[in-house]
Protein backbone atom coordinates (compact mmCIF):
# COMPACT_ATOMS: atom_id res chain seq x y z
CA UNK A 1 0.00 0.00 0.00
CA UNK A 2 1.62 3.25 -1.07
CA UNK A 3 1.13 6.64 0.67
CA UNK A 4 0.22 9.65 -1.38
CA UNK A 5 2.51 12.61 -1.04
CA UNK A 6 0.92 15.66 0.63
CA UNK A 7 -0.63 18.22 -1.62
CA UNK A 8 0.75 21.72 -1.95
CA UNK A 9 -2.24 23.04 -0.03
CA UNK A 10 -1.50 20.67 2.87
CA UNK A 11 2.15 21.75 2.86
CA UNK A 12 1.12 25.38 3.00
CA UNK A 13 -1.18 24.67 5.95
CA UNK A 14 1.63 22.93 7.83
CA UNK A 15 4.01 25.81 7.19
CA UNK A 16 1.34 28.31 8.23
CA UNK A 17 0.75 26.38 11.45
CA UNK A 18 4.48 26.30 12.22
CA UNK A 19 4.77 30.01 11.57
CA UNK A 20 1.76 30.73 13.77
CA UNK A 21 3.19 28.61 16.61
CA UNK A 22 6.48 30.51 16.35
CA UNK A 23 4.62 33.81 16.46
CA UNK A 24 2.72 32.66 19.54
CA UNK A 25 5.89 31.76 21.42
CA UNK A 26 7.62 34.99 20.43
CA UNK A 27 4.67 37.10 21.57
CA UNK A 28 4.08 34.99 24.71
CA UNK A 29 0.46 34.54 23.74
CA UNK A 30 -1.97 31.86 22.62
CA UNK A 31 -5.60 31.27 21.85
CA UNK A 32 -8.47 28.96 22.65
CA UNK A 33 -11.60 28.06 20.69
CA UNK A 34 -14.76 26.52 22.13
CA UNK A 35 -17.26 25.04 19.66
CA UNK A 36 -20.87 25.46 20.75
CA UNK A 37 -22.25 22.09 21.75
CA UNK A 38 -18.84 20.54 22.47
CA UNK A 39 -17.75 19.71 26.01
CA UNK A 40 -14.10 20.79 25.82
CA UNK A 41 -12.35 23.69 24.10
CA UNK A 42 -9.31 23.66 21.83
CA UNK A 43 -6.06 25.19 23.04
CA UNK A 44 -3.31 26.36 20.77
CA UNK A 45 0.31 25.32 21.39
CA UNK A 46 1.01 28.88 22.49
CA UNK A 47 -1.69 28.69 25.16
CA UNK A 48 -0.18 25.49 26.54
CA UNK A 49 3.26 27.16 26.60
CA UNK A 50 1.87 30.31 28.21
CA UNK A 51 0.44 28.25 31.07
CA UNK A 52 3.55 26.07 31.28
CA UNK A 53 1.59 22.87 30.52
CA UNK A 54 2.53 19.79 28.52
CA UNK A 55 -0.12 18.96 25.86
CA UNK A 56 0.68 15.27 26.30
CA UNK A 57 -0.22 15.38 30.02
CA UNK A 58 -3.07 17.88 30.28
CA UNK A 59 -6.35 17.65 28.40
CA UNK A 60 -7.94 21.01 27.52
CA UNK A 61 -11.12 21.63 29.46
CA UNK A 62 -13.11 24.60 30.74
CA UNK A 63 -13.31 22.97 34.14
CA UNK A 64 -9.49 22.81 34.39
CA UNK A 65 -9.18 26.55 33.84
CA UNK A 66 -11.97 27.40 36.27
CA UNK A 67 -10.30 25.34 39.02
CA UNK A 68 -6.98 27.16 38.60
CA UNK A 69 -8.28 30.71 38.13
CA UNK A 70 -8.06 32.85 41.28
CA UNK A 71 -11.33 32.60 43.14
CA UNK A 72 -11.72 36.38 43.24
CA UNK A 73 -11.56 36.51 39.41
CA UNK A 74 -13.89 33.62 38.52
CA UNK A 75 -17.04 35.74 38.49
CA UNK A 76 -15.49 38.27 36.10
CA UNK A 77 -14.38 35.48 33.75
CA UNK A 78 -17.83 33.88 33.78
CA UNK A 79 -19.53 37.21 33.12
CA UNK A 80 -17.19 37.94 30.21
CA UNK A 81 -17.81 34.61 28.51
CA UNK A 82 -21.56 34.82 29.19
CA UNK A 83 -21.80 38.29 27.69
CA UNK A 84 -20.06 37.07 24.53
CA UNK A 85 -22.51 34.19 24.16
CA UNK A 86 -25.56 36.31 24.93
CA UNK A 87 -24.70 39.44 22.96
CA UNK A 88 -22.57 37.89 20.28
CA UNK A 89 -20.08 40.72 20.67
CA UNK A 90 -16.37 40.92 21.52
CA UNK A 91 -15.56 40.66 25.22
CA UNK A 92 -12.59 41.02 27.52
CA UNK A 93 -11.49 39.88 30.94
CA UNK A 94 -8.32 39.79 33.04
CA UNK A 95 -7.65 37.10 35.60
CA UNK A 96 -4.99 35.50 37.74
CA UNK A 97 -4.25 31.84 37.17
CA UNK A 98 -1.88 29.36 38.79
CA UNK A 99 -1.45 25.85 37.38
CA UNK A 100 1.41 25.02 39.74
CA UNK A 101 4.19 27.19 38.26
CA UNK A 102 3.42 30.43 40.06
CA UNK A 103 0.62 32.91 39.62
CA UNK A 104 0.33 34.56 36.22
CA UNK A 105 -1.89 37.40 35.05
CA UNK A 106 -3.48 36.91 31.63
CA UNK A 107 -5.57 39.15 29.42
CA UNK A 108 -8.20 37.53 27.21
CA UNK A 109 -9.76 39.30 24.22
CA UNK A 110 -12.67 37.20 22.96
CA UNK A 111 -14.99 37.23 19.99
CA UNK A 112 -17.69 35.01 18.45
CA UNK A 113 -17.79 32.98 15.23
CA UNK A 114 -21.02 32.86 13.25
CA UNK A 115 -22.24 30.63 10.48
CA UNK A 116 -23.72 31.75 7.19
CA UNK A 117 -27.09 32.30 8.91
CA UNK A 118 -25.50 34.54 11.56
CA UNK A 119 -25.83 32.01 14.34
CA UNK A 120 -23.03 31.88 16.99
CA UNK A 121 -21.19 28.61 16.48
CA UNK A 122 -18.03 29.13 18.58
CA UNK A 123 -16.19 31.39 21.00
CA UNK A 124 -12.56 32.41 20.36
CA UNK A 125 -10.21 33.95 22.88
CA UNK A 126 -6.77 35.40 22.27
CA UNK A 127 -4.74 35.20 25.49
CA UNK A 128 -1.66 37.25 26.42
CA UNK A 129 0.56 37.05 29.53
CA UNK A 130 0.62 40.52 31.14
CA UNK A 131 2.20 39.54 34.48
CA UNK A 132 5.29 41.70 33.99
CA UNK A 133 3.25 44.65 32.75
CA UNK A 134 0.90 44.48 35.72
CA UNK A 135 3.81 44.26 38.15
CA UNK A 136 5.47 47.26 36.48
CA UNK A 137 2.27 49.29 36.68
CA UNK A 138 1.80 48.42 40.34
CA UNK A 139 5.41 49.32 41.12
CA UNK A 140 5.06 52.61 39.25
CA UNK A 141 1.88 53.43 41.13
CA UNK A 142 3.54 52.56 44.43
CA UNK A 143 6.49 54.79 43.63
CA UNK A 144 4.22 57.61 42.54
CA UNK A 145 2.25 57.25 45.76
CA UNK A 146 5.45 57.26 47.81
CA UNK A 147 6.84 60.30 45.99
CA UNK A 148 3.53 62.11 46.31
CA UNK A 149 3.40 61.28 50.01
CA UNK A 150 6.94 62.57 50.51
CA UNK A 151 6.20 65.73 48.52
CA UNK A 152 2.97 66.41 50.36
CA UNK A 153 4.29 65.64 53.84
CA UNK A 154 7.81 67.09 53.49
CA UNK A 155 8.50 70.35 55.31
CA UNK A 156 10.82 71.37 52.45
CA UNK A 157 9.27 72.99 49.39
CA UNK A 158 9.67 70.77 46.32
CA UNK A 159 9.21 72.36 42.87
CA UNK A 160 9.27 70.91 39.35
CA UNK A 161 10.37 73.54 36.83
CA UNK A 162 10.03 73.87 33.07
CA UNK A 163 13.03 74.72 30.90
CA UNK A 164 12.49 78.46 31.46
CA UNK A 165 12.30 77.96 35.23
CA UNK A 166 8.52 78.41 35.55
CA UNK A 167 6.95 76.01 38.10
CA UNK A 168 4.68 73.18 36.95
CA UNK A 169 4.40 71.45 40.33
CA UNK A 170 4.92 72.65 43.89
CA UNK A 171 4.49 70.74 47.15
CA UNK A 172 2.08 71.94 49.87
CA UNK A 173 5.09 73.12 51.93
CA UNK A 174 4.98 76.33 49.85
CA UNK A 175 2.25 77.54 52.20
CA UNK A 176 4.51 77.24 55.24
CA UNK A 177 7.57 78.73 53.51
CA UNK A 178 6.06 81.50 51.36
CA UNK A 179 2.55 81.86 52.76
CA UNK A 180 0.70 81.08 49.51
CA UNK A 181 -1.34 78.19 48.14
CA UNK A 182 0.22 75.88 45.52
CA UNK A 183 -2.18 77.07 42.77
CA UNK A 184 -1.22 80.67 43.43
CA UNK A 185 2.50 79.88 43.21
CA UNK A 186 2.09 77.94 39.96
CA UNK A 187 0.62 81.01 38.26
CA UNK A 188 3.69 83.12 39.01
CA UNK A 189 6.55 83.50 36.50
CA UNK A 190 10.00 82.26 37.43
CA UNK A 191 12.06 84.33 39.91
CA UNK A 192 9.00 86.39 40.95
CA UNK A 193 9.74 86.02 44.66
CA UNK A 194 13.53 86.26 44.49
CA UNK A 195 15.04 89.26 46.28
CA UNK A 196 16.27 91.85 43.72
CA UNK A 197 19.74 91.91 45.32
CA UNK A 198 20.03 88.12 44.98
CA UNK A 199 18.60 87.74 41.46
CA UNK A 200 21.85 88.09 39.50
CA UNK A 201 23.66 85.69 41.83
CA UNK A 202 20.87 83.10 41.60
CA UNK A 203 20.78 83.22 37.79
CA UNK A 204 24.58 83.01 37.54
CA UNK A 205 24.85 80.01 39.90
CA UNK A 206 22.03 78.17 38.12
CA UNK A 207 23.50 78.86 34.68
CA UNK A 208 26.93 77.58 35.72
CA UNK A 209 25.43 74.46 37.29
CA UNK A 210 23.32 73.71 34.23
CA UNK A 211 26.24 74.23 31.85
CA UNK A 212 28.41 71.90 33.93
CA UNK A 213 25.55 69.43 34.54
CA UNK A 214 25.90 69.47 38.31
CA UNK A 215 23.60 70.18 41.24
CA UNK A 216 23.42 73.81 42.33
CA UNK A 217 23.30 74.82 46.01
CA UNK A 218 22.58 78.40 46.95
CA UNK A 219 21.27 80.52 49.83
CA UNK A 220 19.02 83.42 48.89
CA UNK A 221 15.98 85.43 49.99
CA UNK A 222 12.40 84.75 48.90
CA UNK A 223 9.38 87.03 49.34
CA UNK A 224 6.68 85.78 51.67
CA UNK A 225 3.08 86.72 50.79
CA UNK A 226 2.88 88.65 54.05
CA UNK A 227 5.53 91.05 52.74
CA UNK A 228 8.73 89.95 54.47
CA UNK A 229 11.67 88.00 53.06
CA UNK A 230 12.78 84.59 54.31
CA UNK A 231 16.19 83.05 53.84
CA UNK A 232 16.05 79.78 51.90
CA UNK A 233 18.67 77.15 51.15
CA UNK A 234 17.90 75.67 47.73
CA UNK A 235 19.32 72.67 45.89
CA UNK A 236 18.55 72.49 42.17
CA UNK A 237 19.05 69.40 40.05
CA UNK A 238 18.67 69.76 36.29
CA UNK A 239 16.96 67.14 34.12
CA UNK A 240 18.32 66.23 30.67
CA UNK A 241 17.03 63.98 27.89
CA UNK A 242 19.12 60.79 28.11
CA UNK A 243 19.02 60.31 24.33
CA UNK A 244 19.62 63.85 23.03
CA UNK A 245 21.10 65.53 26.10
CA UNK A 246 18.65 68.42 25.77
CA UNK A 247 17.76 70.34 28.91
CA UNK A 248 14.20 69.42 29.94
CA UNK A 249 13.74 71.25 33.22
CA UNK A 250 14.78 71.06 36.87
CA UNK A 251 13.73 69.95 40.34
CA UNK A 252 14.43 72.19 43.34
CA UNK A 253 14.16 71.63 47.08
CA UNK A 254 14.08 74.69 49.36
CA UNK A 255 14.08 74.93 53.13
CA UNK A 256 13.70 77.84 55.50
CA UNK A 257 17.07 78.80 57.06
CA UNK A 258 16.03 82.21 58.40
CA UNK A 259 16.66 81.24 62.03
CA UNK A 260 20.00 79.73 61.05
CA UNK A 261 20.99 82.98 59.34
CA UNK A 262 19.97 84.91 62.46
CA UNK A 263 22.17 82.67 64.60
CA UNK A 264 25.01 83.15 62.10
CA UNK A 265 24.63 86.93 62.38
CA UNK A 266 24.65 86.76 66.18
CA UNK A 267 27.72 84.50 66.17
CA UNK A 268 29.49 86.74 63.65
CA UNK A 269 28.80 89.81 65.78
CA UNK A 270 30.03 87.96 68.88
CA UNK A 271 33.13 86.81 67.01
CA UNK A 272 33.89 90.36 65.89
CA UNK A 273 33.44 91.66 69.45
CA UNK A 274 35.71 88.92 70.79
CA UNK A 275 38.37 89.64 68.16
CA UNK A 276 38.17 93.36 68.90
CA UNK A 277 38.49 92.66 72.64
CA UNK A 278 41.46 90.37 71.97
CA UNK A 279 43.21 93.00 69.83
CA UNK A 280 42.46 95.63 72.47
CA UNK A 281 43.93 93.38 75.16
CA UNK A 282 47.02 92.71 73.07
CA UNK A 283 47.56 96.42 72.40
CA UNK A 284 47.07 97.18 76.09
CA UNK A 285 49.55 94.50 77.16
CA UNK A 286 52.11 95.67 74.60
CA UNK A 287 51.79 99.32 75.63
CA UNK A 288 51.85 98.55 79.34
CA UNK A 289 54.83 96.23 78.93
CA UNK A 290 56.83 99.01 77.28
CA UNK A 291 55.74 101.53 79.92
CA UNK A 292 56.71 99.20 82.76
CA UNK A 293 60.09 98.25 81.36
CA UNK A 294 61.58 101.76 81.65
CA UNK A 295 61.13 102.27 85.42
CA UNK A 296 61.84 98.58 86.05
CA UNK A 297 65.22 98.80 84.34
CA UNK A 298 66.04 101.77 86.57
CA UNK A 299 64.98 99.83 89.69
CA UNK A 300 67.14 96.86 88.73
CA UNK A 301 70.11 99.04 87.79
CA UNK A 302 70.12 101.10 90.97
CA UNK A 303 69.47 98.03 93.19
CA UNK A 304 72.45 96.34 91.56
CA UNK A 305 74.64 99.40 92.24
CA UNK A 306 73.48 99.47 95.85
CA UNK A 307 74.04 95.72 96.26
CA UNK A 308 77.59 96.02 94.90
CA UNK A 309 78.29 99.05 97.17
CA UNK A 310 79.88 100.82 94.23
CA UNK A 311 79.91 104.21 96.04
CA UNK A 312 80.90 102.97 99.45
CA UNK A 313 79.69 100.68 102.23
CA UNK A 314 76.02 100.75 103.25
CA UNK A 315 76.77 100.37 106.93
CA UNK A 316 74.34 97.56 107.65
CA UNK A 317 74.32 94.10 106.07
CA UNK A 318 70.53 94.09 105.81
CA UNK A 319 70.67 96.94 103.29
CA UNK A 320 72.71 94.73 100.95
CA UNK A 321 70.31 91.83 101.47
CA UNK A 322 67.34 94.09 100.70
CA UNK A 323 69.03 95.41 97.55
CA UNK A 324 69.59 91.84 96.38
CA UNK A 325 65.94 91.00 97.01
CA UNK A 326 64.87 94.12 95.08
CA UNK A 327 67.06 93.08 92.14
CA UNK A 328 65.75 89.48 92.14
CA UNK A 329 62.17 90.65 92.34
CA UNK A 330 62.80 93.06 89.50
CA UNK A 331 64.27 90.25 87.43
CA UNK A 332 61.19 88.10 88.00
CA UNK A 333 58.92 91.00 87.12
CA UNK A 334 60.96 91.74 83.98
CA UNK A 335 60.64 88.10 82.91
CA UNK A 336 56.89 88.31 83.41
CA UNK A 337 56.69 91.52 81.40
CA UNK A 338 58.77 90.00 78.61
CA UNK A 339 56.51 86.95 78.54
CA UNK A 340 53.39 89.16 78.41
CA UNK A 341 54.87 91.26 75.63
CA UNK A 342 55.90 88.24 73.56
CA UNK A 343 52.54 86.50 74.02
CA UNK A 344 50.65 89.66 73.05
CA UNK A 345 52.79 89.95 69.91
CA UNK A 346 52.20 86.30 69.02
CA UNK A 347 48.42 86.60 69.50
CA UNK A 348 48.39 89.80 67.42
CA UNK A 349 50.43 88.08 64.69
CA UNK A 350 53.25 90.63 65.01
CA UNK A 351 55.99 88.49 66.52
CA UNK A 352 58.93 88.50 64.12
CA UNK A 353 61.51 85.72 64.05
CA UNK A 354 65.12 86.55 63.24
CA UNK A 355 66.45 83.29 61.84
CA UNK A 356 70.15 82.59 62.23
CA UNK A 357 72.38 79.54 62.18
CA UNK A 358 73.94 78.90 65.58
CA UNK A 359 75.27 76.12 67.81
CA UNK A 360 72.60 74.45 69.91
CA UNK A 361 75.22 73.30 72.45
CA UNK A 362 76.35 76.84 73.25
CA UNK A 363 72.85 78.20 73.86
CA UNK A 364 71.93 75.17 75.98
CA UNK A 365 75.11 75.56 78.06
CA UNK A 366 74.51 79.32 78.57
CA UNK A 367 70.89 78.73 79.58
CA UNK A 368 71.82 76.05 82.08
CA UNK A 369 74.51 78.36 83.51
CA UNK A 370 71.90 81.08 84.12
CA UNK A 371 69.70 78.65 86.06
CA UNK A 372 72.51 76.82 87.87
CA UNK A 373 72.27 78.89 91.05
CA UNK A 374 68.50 78.40 91.27
CA UNK A 375 68.93 74.65 90.76
CA UNK A 376 71.66 74.50 93.44
CA UNK A 377 69.39 76.33 95.92
CA UNK A 378 66.75 73.63 95.35
CA UNK A 379 69.41 70.85 95.31
CA UNK A 380 68.35 69.76 91.81
CA UNK A 381 70.85 68.28 89.32
CA UNK A 382 70.78 69.32 85.62
CA UNK A 383 72.34 66.99 83.04
CA UNK A 384 72.68 67.81 79.33
CA UNK A 385 73.41 65.68 76.27
CA UNK A 386 73.67 66.98 72.69
CA UNK A 387 74.06 64.53 69.78
CA UNK A 388 76.04 65.35 67.69
CA UNK A 389 78.09 67.97 69.54
CA UNK A 390 78.14 70.36 66.55
CA UNK A 391 74.35 70.44 66.13
CA UNK A 392 73.46 73.65 64.23
CA UNK A 393 69.98 75.19 64.34
CA UNK A 394 68.33 77.53 61.85
CA UNK A 395 66.13 79.45 64.29
CA UNK A 396 65.73 82.65 66.30
CA UNK A 397 68.49 82.46 69.00
CA UNK A 398 66.53 84.59 71.47
CA UNK A 399 63.38 82.47 70.98
CA UNK A 400 65.35 79.24 71.44
CA UNK A 401 66.93 80.59 74.62
CA UNK A 402 63.48 81.62 75.86
CA UNK A 403 62.16 78.10 75.16
CA UNK A 404 65.03 76.57 77.15
CA UNK A 405 64.75 78.97 80.07
CA UNK A 406 61.01 78.44 80.38
CA UNK A 407 61.23 74.66 80.22
CA UNK A 408 64.22 74.28 82.54
CA UNK A 409 63.01 76.87 85.08
CA UNK A 410 59.64 75.07 85.16
CA UNK A 411 61.41 71.76 85.72
CA UNK A 412 63.52 73.25 88.55
CA UNK A 413 60.44 74.84 90.11
CA UNK A 414 58.44 71.59 90.21
CA UNK A 415 61.24 69.16 91.09
CA UNK A 416 61.76 68.33 94.72
CA UNK A 417 65.11 68.43 96.51
CA UNK A 418 67.43 65.68 95.31
CA UNK A 419 65.69 65.40 91.94
CA UNK A 420 67.23 65.51 88.47
CA UNK A 421 66.54 67.20 85.14
CA UNK A 422 67.64 65.74 81.80
CA UNK A 423 68.12 67.95 78.72
CA UNK A 424 68.61 66.02 75.48
CA UNK A 425 69.05 67.43 71.98
CA UNK A 426 69.39 65.22 68.92
CA UNK A 427 69.01 65.38 65.15
CA UNK A 428 65.91 63.78 63.69
CA UNK A 429 65.45 64.20 59.91
CA UNK A 430 65.42 67.97 59.27
CA UNK A 431 64.68 68.91 62.86
CA UNK A 432 66.36 69.03 66.25
CA UNK A 433 64.44 67.11 68.89
CA UNK A 434 64.77 68.84 72.26
CA UNK A 435 63.56 66.87 75.31
CA UNK A 436 63.43 68.34 78.83
CA UNK A 437 62.60 65.63 81.37
CA UNK A 438 62.26 65.85 85.15
CA UNK A 439 61.28 63.47 87.98
CA UNK A 440 59.32 66.09 89.86
CA UNK A 441 55.76 66.27 91.16
CA UNK A 442 54.16 65.76 87.72
CA UNK A 443 50.83 67.06 86.48
CA UNK A 444 47.35 65.66 87.28
CA UNK A 445 45.66 64.01 84.30
CA UNK A 446 42.60 66.29 84.46
CA UNK A 447 44.76 69.43 84.25
CA UNK A 448 47.16 68.22 81.55
CA UNK A 449 44.90 69.05 78.53
CA UNK A 450 44.53 72.68 79.70
CA UNK A 451 48.23 73.43 79.93
CA UNK A 452 50.09 75.15 77.11
CA UNK A 453 47.23 77.69 76.98
CA UNK A 454 47.92 81.24 78.21
CA UNK A 455 47.58 81.82 81.98
CA UNK A 456 46.94 78.13 82.76
CA UNK A 457 48.78 76.75 85.79
CA UNK A 458 48.90 73.38 87.52
CA UNK A 459 47.41 74.82 90.70
CA UNK A 460 45.65 78.05 91.53
CA UNK A 461 45.86 77.31 95.25
CA UNK A 462 48.14 79.99 96.84
CA UNK A 463 49.30 77.47 99.44
CA UNK A 464 50.67 75.22 96.67
CA UNK A 465 51.59 77.83 94.07
CA UNK A 466 55.17 78.00 92.85
CA UNK A 467 54.94 81.43 91.21
CA UNK A 468 54.78 82.32 87.54
CA UNK A 469 52.13 83.68 85.22
CA UNK A 470 51.12 80.46 83.48
CA UNK A 471 52.56 81.78 80.20
CA UNK A 472 55.71 79.62 80.06
CA UNK A 473 54.39 76.53 78.29
CA UNK A 474 52.07 78.62 76.10
CA UNK A 475 55.08 80.64 74.91
CA UNK A 476 57.14 77.52 74.30
CA UNK A 477 54.37 75.96 72.23
CA UNK A 478 53.75 79.16 70.22
CA UNK A 479 57.45 79.78 69.55
CA UNK A 480 57.95 76.18 68.40
CA UNK A 481 54.97 76.39 66.05
CA UNK A 482 56.16 79.74 64.66
CA UNK A 483 59.36 77.93 63.63
CA UNK A 484 57.33 75.18 61.95
CA UNK A 485 58.13 72.79 64.78
CA UNK A 486 55.98 70.84 67.22
CA UNK A 487 55.28 70.74 70.95
CA UNK A 488 54.35 67.71 73.06
CA UNK A 489 53.67 67.44 76.79
CA UNK A 490 53.62 64.17 78.75
CA UNK A 491 53.29 63.84 82.50
CA UNK A 492 52.19 61.55 85.29
CA UNK A 493 51.38 62.86 88.73
CA UNK A 494 54.13 61.92 91.17
CA UNK A 495 56.48 60.64 88.43
CA UNK A 496 57.61 63.76 86.58
CA UNK A 497 57.06 65.58 83.29
CA UNK A 498 58.55 65.35 79.80
CA UNK A 499 58.32 68.17 77.25
CA UNK A 500 59.41 67.59 73.64
CA UNK A 501 60.01 70.43 71.17
CA UNK A 502 61.21 70.21 67.56
CA UNK A 503 62.98 73.05 65.76
CA UNK A 504 64.46 73.16 62.23
CA UNK A 505 68.11 72.32 61.72
CA UNK A 506 70.43 74.22 59.44
CA UNK A 507 70.85 72.52 56.03
CA UNK A 508 74.52 71.81 56.63
CA UNK A 509 73.73 70.24 59.99
CA UNK A 510 70.99 68.15 58.41
CA UNK A 511 73.40 66.76 55.82
CA UNK A 512 76.03 66.03 58.48
CA UNK A 513 73.50 64.23 60.65
| pLDDT tens per residue across span 199-234 | 999 999 999 999 999 999 999 999 999 999 999 999
Query: Which region among 156-160, 213-217, 450-454, 496-500 has the lowest average model confidence (pLDDT)?
Result: 450-454
Distinct helix (H) and strand (E) counts, the chain: 14, 17
CATH code, domain with 301: 1.10.287
Cβ atoms of 473 and 410 closer than 8 Å? yes
In this structure, are 426 and 507 located in the same domain?
Answer: yes
Question: Domain boundary residue among 200, 234, 256?
Answer: 256
Is 274 within the bounds of a domain?
A: yes
pTM: 0.44
What is the reported pLDDT for 462?
37
CATH code, domain with 367: 3.30.565.10
In this structure, are 172 and 218 located in the same domain?
Answer: yes
Is 77 within the bounds of a domain?
A: yes
Give the sign of the dihedral formed by CA 476, CA 482, CA 483, CA 484: positive
In this structure, are 360 and 303 located in the same domain?
Answer: no
What is the reported pLDDT for 319?
81
- Using DSSP, state whether 235 is helix, strand or coil: strand
Residue 15 burial (10 A CB sphere; 0-12, 13-18, 19+):
exposed
What is the reported pLDDT for 304?
82
In this structure, are 455 and 492 located in the same domain?
Answer: yes
Is 499 within the bounds of a domain?
A: yes
Cβ atoms of 487 and 477 closer than 8 Å? yes
In this structure, are 30 and 72 located in the same domain?
Answer: yes
Would you place residue 506 in the very low, low, confident or very high pLDDT band (cuts 50, 70, 90)?
confident
CATH code, domain with 184: 3.30.450.20
Total number of domains constituting the chain: 4
| pLDDT tens per residue across span 378-432 | 899 999 999 888 889 999 998 898 899 889 988 998 898 889 999 999 998 889 9
Is 149 within the bounds of a domain?
A: no
What domain range is 72 assigned to?
Answer: 8-135
Question: Domain boundary residue among 135, 169, 204?
Answer: 135
Would you place residue 22 in the very low, low, confident or very high pLDDT band (cuts 50, 70, 90)?
low
What is the reported pLDDT for 18?
57
In this structure, are 431 and 503 located in the same domain?
Answer: yes
Is 476 within the bounds of a domain?
A: yes
Measure the CA–CA gap between 170 and 159, rounded to whole angstroms: 4
Question: Domain boundary residue among 348, 374, 406?
Answer: 348
In this structure, are 17 and 66 located in the same domain?
Answer: yes
Is 247 within the bounds of a domain?
A: yes
Residue 302 predicted with pLDDT over 50: yes
In this structure, are 501 and 391 located in the same domain?
Answer: yes
Tell me the three-class secondary structure of 59-113, residue by residue. CCCHHHHHHHECCCCHHHHHHHHHHHHHHCCCEEEEEEECCCCCCEEEEEEEEEE
Measure the CA–CA gap between 185 and 183, rounded to whole angstroms: 5
Cβ density class 248-282: b for 16+ within 10 Å, e for less: eebebbbbbbbeebeeeeeeeeeeeeeeeeeeeeb
In this structure, are 490 and 361 located in the same domain?
Answer: yes
What integer best gives the mean pLDDT of the chain? 83
Measure the CA–CA gap between 108 and 110, rounded to whole angstroms: 6
In this structure, are 58 and 118 located in the same domain?
Answer: yes
In this structure, are 219 and 199 located in the same domain?
Answer: yes
Is 147 within the bounds of a domain?
A: no
In this structure, are 367 and 341 located in the same domain?
Answer: no
Is 465 within the bounds of a domain?
A: yes
Residue 510 burial (10 A CB sphere; 0-12, 13-18, 19+):
middle
| pLDDT tens per residue across span 237-272 | 999 988 888 999 999 999 999 988 888 888 888 888
Measure the CA–CA gap between 420 and 114, rounded to whole angstroms: 120
Amino acid sequence: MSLKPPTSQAVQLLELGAHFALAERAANMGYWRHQVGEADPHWSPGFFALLGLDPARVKPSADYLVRHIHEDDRVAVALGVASGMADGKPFHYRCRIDVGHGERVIDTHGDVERDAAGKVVALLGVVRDVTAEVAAVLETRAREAAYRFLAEEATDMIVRHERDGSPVFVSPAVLQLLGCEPDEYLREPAYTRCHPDDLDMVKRVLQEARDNRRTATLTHRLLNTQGHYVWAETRVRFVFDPATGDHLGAISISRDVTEHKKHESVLQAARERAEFASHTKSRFLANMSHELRTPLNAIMGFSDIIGREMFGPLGNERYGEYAKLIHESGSLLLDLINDLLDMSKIEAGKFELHIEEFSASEVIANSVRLLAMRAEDRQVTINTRVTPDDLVLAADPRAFKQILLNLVSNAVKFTNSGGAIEIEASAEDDYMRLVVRDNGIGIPADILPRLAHPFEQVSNDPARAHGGSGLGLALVKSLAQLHGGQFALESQEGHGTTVTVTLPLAKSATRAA
